[in-house]
Copies of this chain bind each other. A is one copy, B any other.
């Protein structure tokens, strides 16, 4: 059994499960022999592309089968996958999962369970699907002290933003993404940054040893971004991206997800359509960027197969697969204390003293202004400001008081600038 030949089960036979099963059945046999023995499905009467003898509706048939070395979990959602993974690891079976929700929820606990039971647990597909980035972060870069990990790690929102950069409205871009199957009928998870938040929580754990709660990760989506914001971004030689950003300095640790203005020459600006990218910074490595397909059955299955090979290779040595997780180096830094620079659009009445009043409120909050452009005259003038770096707290306080000025009809947009 342990001699380059392994028995595998798959939990789930949906879109990704089917792709994984097909890959397992045709795996390049130079590397490893895989014997696919069981597939857990919820409806065993449904027609499948693979041998129906593999099918079971009973998880215990897999959990209690001593011949099964490795289980691939591709069920989706947190339960029952989470309990299944725990049980399998406790039984010393290796587990590969693509499930970001579970790893974000209790990754640290599961990794410890794997270590205690000398079992492998890999989840490369949970972040940035087809891009091999978690293994390099865990292994190749384990000796590096990292200062930042930032990523475009939600393909759906990046597809929508790219369409908007090319002139589409948010509504049209979303509808188009839904028609192409990139966005769900209810797109909330993708467009409100929730999917990216889960992935940011996984990156926080692996890169900095920190397991933030969902509330700790400040999250803002892209649904309020407009075509006009993109027009302004273009005038400033920038574009707009939904970025998950994790910073770790002596001042503290902060993970957050929000749309940002990115300079058009920055590597993240070049990540277009449904692509993903993860940028990693540290003193010795300067800046690395990993980019590629962030979604889809084939890339996800590719990451899972890579994990299967790693686990099989590791199982031969009967050894746990993890270095010790990193120890957090600093305390947390609340979002209100994070410095950023803001792009702000105000609808104002063009009358003497407007700018002075606004500038004075920024000044009171210690926010200095980098540039101001006024467009139009009269009651519908638009004032577009970019601030210098200031704390989130000072920026939101400024905006709150500015919004109350009689001469300001509305705060049309506030978007942070990627620093």
Which residues does A use to contact B, with CB under 8 Å? Answer: 23, 27-28, 30-31, 124, 130-132, 135-136, 139-145, 265, 267, 270, 282-293, 298-299, 301-303, 305-306, 308-310, 313, 316-319, 323-324, 326-327
Interface pair A139/B306, CB less than 8 Å apart: yes
Nearest CB in chain B to that of A135: its residue: B140
In the complex, what distance in Å separates the CA atom of A303 from the CA atom of B141?
8
In the complex, what distance in Å separates the CA atom of A308 from the CA atom of B144?
12
Residues of B near A124 (CB, < 8 A) are 140
Interface pair B284/A130, CB less than 8 Å apart: yes
In the complex, what distance in Å separates the CA atom of A124 from the CA atom of B23?
28
Nearest CB in chain B to that of A287: its residue: B292
| Given known contacts A323-B309, A323-B313, A31 and B143 CB-to-CB distance under 8 angstroms | yes
Interface pair B284/A139, CB less than 8 Å apart: no
Q: How far is the CB of A88 from chain B (nearest CB, A)?
A: 22
Sample of 10 A–B contacts (CB below 8 Å): A27-B143, A136-B140, A139-B309, A139-B310, A141-B306, A142-B306, A144-B302, A287-B292, A309-B323, A313-B323
Residues of B near A144 (CB, < 8 A) are 302, 305-306
Interface pair B139/A135, CB less than 8 Å apart: yes
Interface pair B293/A285, CB less than 8 Å apart: yes
Interface pair B284/A288, CB less than 8 Å apart: no
Of B265, B282, B301, B316, which is within 8 A of A319 by CB?
A: B316
| Given known contacts A289-B292, A309-B143, A298 and B284 CB-to-CB distance under 8 angstroms | yes
Of B30, B136, B298, B305, which is within 8 A of A326 by CB?
A: B30
Name the residue among A136, A144, A309, A324 with the largest chain B CB count within 10 angstroms: A136
Name the residue among A135, A140, A309, A326 with the largest chain B CB count within 10 angstroms: A140
Of B30, B135, B143, B291, which is within 8 A of A289 by CB?
A: B291
Residues of B near A28 (CB, < 8 A) are 143, 145
In the complex, what distance in Å separates the CA atom of A246 from the CA atom of B5?
32
Interface pair A142/B31, CB less than 8 Å apart: yes
In the complex, what distance in Å separates the CA atom of A301 from the CA atom of B143?
10
Interface pair B286/A293, CB less than 8 Å apart: yes
In the complex, what distance in Å separates the CA atom of A326 from the CA atom of B28?
10
| Given known contacts A31-B142, A143-B27, A319-B317, A284 and B270 CB-to-CB distance under 8 angstroms | no
Nearest CB in chain B to that of A312: its residue: B323
**Known pairs A130-B284, A141-B306. 20 more at Cβ < 8 A?**
A28-B143, A31-B324, A124-B140, A131-B288, A139-B309, A143-B309, A144-B305, A144-B306, A284-B302, A285-B298, A285-B302, A286-B293, A287-B293, A288-B290, A288-B292, A289-B291, A290-B290, A313-B323, A317-B317, A317-B318
Of B132, B267, B308, which is within 8 A of A291 by CB?
A: B267
Of B132, B284, B293, B317, which is within 8 A of A140 by CB?
A: B132
Nearest CB in chain B to that of A313: its residue: B323
Residues of B near A316 (CB, < 8 A) are 319
In the complex, what distance in Å separates the CA atom of A151 from the CA atom of B143?
26
Interface pair B140/A310, CB less than 8 Å apart: yes
In the complex, what distance in Å separates the CA atom of A284 from the CA atom of B318?
30
Which 10 pairs across A and B sit closest by C-beta, in order of nearness?
A317-B317, A132-B140, A288-B292, A140-B306, A132-B136, A143-B305, A284-B302, A284-B298, A317-B319, A289-B291
Nearest CB in chain B to that of A19: its residue: B284
Nearest CB in chain B to that of A305: its residue: B143
